[in-house]
Amino acid sequence: MNISSATVLHFSGTGTTEKYAKAFAKALPFPATIHEISKRKDAGSLDLSLGADELLVLAFPVYAGFAPAFIWDCLENVAGSSTPAVILAVYGARNYDNALLEAHTKLSAKGFATVGAAALVARHSIIQSIAPDRPNAADLEEAASFARTIAERLDGMGSIADALTFEFKGEAGTGSAPGMVPQVSEDCILCGACAASCPVEAIPYDEPNTTNAEACISCLRCIDVCPMDARSLPAQLLEGIGGMLSQVADPAKKNELF
Ligand SMILES: Cc1cc2nc3c(=O)[nH]c(=O)nc-3n(C[C@H](O)[C@H](O)[C@H](O)COP(=O)(O)O)c2cc1C
């Protein structure tokens, strides 16, 4: 198959998915356009119709075993027409559970055919002491090398009918909002950095020390960008999640490429 260009759509709450998506995009032997998936009004809506000679790359973090639910709303007007797609699911060293199966199923209903997928390990965005330095240089090189493998795979295909058949683990379904809403301490100086970066506009500019709990998707970007460290998850919640993850997360986990 002759591929003319790639469209890379990524959502990345705290930056690790973005690193993987960019390393992958950069190594593709055809031009790639990168868009952030966002519900912000200033980002505009994604309206894309991709053909059979284009490649879609969808990259997202795994939240409770699924893709962040809001991305599917944002992708409502993204459609393929026998368009090859690659899925990159980035997870915090516990498990990616249903995420590849979910994305594969949903993209296929939109006219995309999966030609490759990866479950990639990164720092856990809730407990950042888990796999703190991933993706490391070797991870990013692995993502780049996977992009070259995908390009060769596409090259070897006469048409999309030659795509491999994938059987991803897990159960079909859709994630729900995790419901972990950051709290704000008195150190908040109302600078609005969090409001300016929230991907779902859950933080009002005029009251950045508050959060609309219904809109919040728990991506934790607001905690990351706060210059005063005034935003955090409740200590008790962190203790519970940290305890659970210390039993089940493995920072040395290998990336899985399909
Ligand atoms: C709400 C939430 C739920 C998460 N659920 C999982 C999970 O089910 N399995 C896992 O291994 N990591 C999980 N993580 C960790 C993220 O998938 C991981 O840190 C990822 O690298 C975050 O990507 P980002 O830096 O692009 O936001 C979760 C993180 C958040 C914030």
Task: Print the domain residue range for 199.
Answer: 183-232
Among all chains, which residue has been given the structure tokens 């890379």?
Answer: 8
> Does a structural domain hold residue 41?
yes
Same domain as 197, residue 150? no
From the CA of 66, give the closest atom in ligand 1. Answer: 8
Q: Write down the pLDDT at residue 44.
A: 87
pLDDT of residue 196: 98
Shared domain for 74 and 201, answered yes or no, is no
Mark whether 10 and 111 lie in a shared domain: yes
**H or E element that contains 32:** strand 32-36
Please check whether residues 78 and 147 belong to one and the same domain. Answer: yes
Task: Using the mean position of ligand 1's atoms as its centre, give its distance from the Cα of residue 35 in Å.
Answer: 20
Tokens 């998707």 correspond to 217
Residues 6+ apart with CB under 8 A from 170: 65, 97, 98, 99, 100, 101, 102
**3: CA distance to ligand 1 center in Å?**
32
Whether 152 and 204 map to the same domain: the answer is no
- Rounded to whole angstroms, the Cα distance separating 128 from 90 reads 14
Q: Work out which ligand 1 atom sits closest to the CA atom of 219.
A: 31
Residue 188: CATH number of its domain: 3.30.70.20
Q: What is the CATH number of the domain that holds 99?
A: 3.40.50.360
- Does the CB atom of residue 211 touch ligand 1 within 6 A? no
Distance between CA atoms of residues 102 and 67, nearest Å: 7
Q: Whose CA is nearest to atom 22 of ligand 1?
A: 61
Q: In this predicted structure, what is the pLDDT of residue 204?
A: 98
Residues 57 and 79 in one domain: yes
pLDDT at 30: 96
* CB of 63 shorter than 6 A to ligand 1: yes
Within a domain: residue 219? yes
Contact by Cβ (8 Å): 70, 200: yes
Q: What's the token pair of residue 81?
A: 């027409």
* Residue whose CA is at the smallest distance from ligand 1 atom 31: 219
Task: Taking each helix axis as running N to C, give the angle between helix 16-27 and helix 137-155, from 0 to 180 degrees, rounded to the nearest 10.
Answer: 40
Place of tokens 């991305």: 71
Pairing of strands 112-121, 83-91: parallel
Domain count, the chain: 2
From residue 191, how far is each of 39, 42, 82, 98, 176 by CA, in Å? Answer: 21, 19, 46, 38, 30
Angstrom distance (rounded) from CA 99 to CA 87: 9
Distance 162 CA to ligand 1 centre (A): 33
Ligand 1 atom closest to 11 (CA): 26
Atom of ligand 1 nearest to the CA of 93: 11
| Residue-by-residue pLDDT tens, the chain, 258 positions | 999 999 999 999 999 999 999 999 999 999 999 999 999 999 988 999 999 999 999 999 999 999 999 999 999 999 999 999 999 999 999 999 999 999 999 999 999 999 999 999 999 999 999 999 999 999 999 999 999 999 999 999 999 999 999 999 999 999 998 999 999 999 999 999 999 999 999 999 999 999 999 999 999 999 999 999 999 999 999 999 999 999 999 999 999 999
**What would the two tokens of residue 27 be?**
């190594």
Ligand 1 atom closest to residue 125's alpha carbon, by position in its atom list: 19
Is there an atom of ligand 1 within 6 Å of 98 CB?
A: no
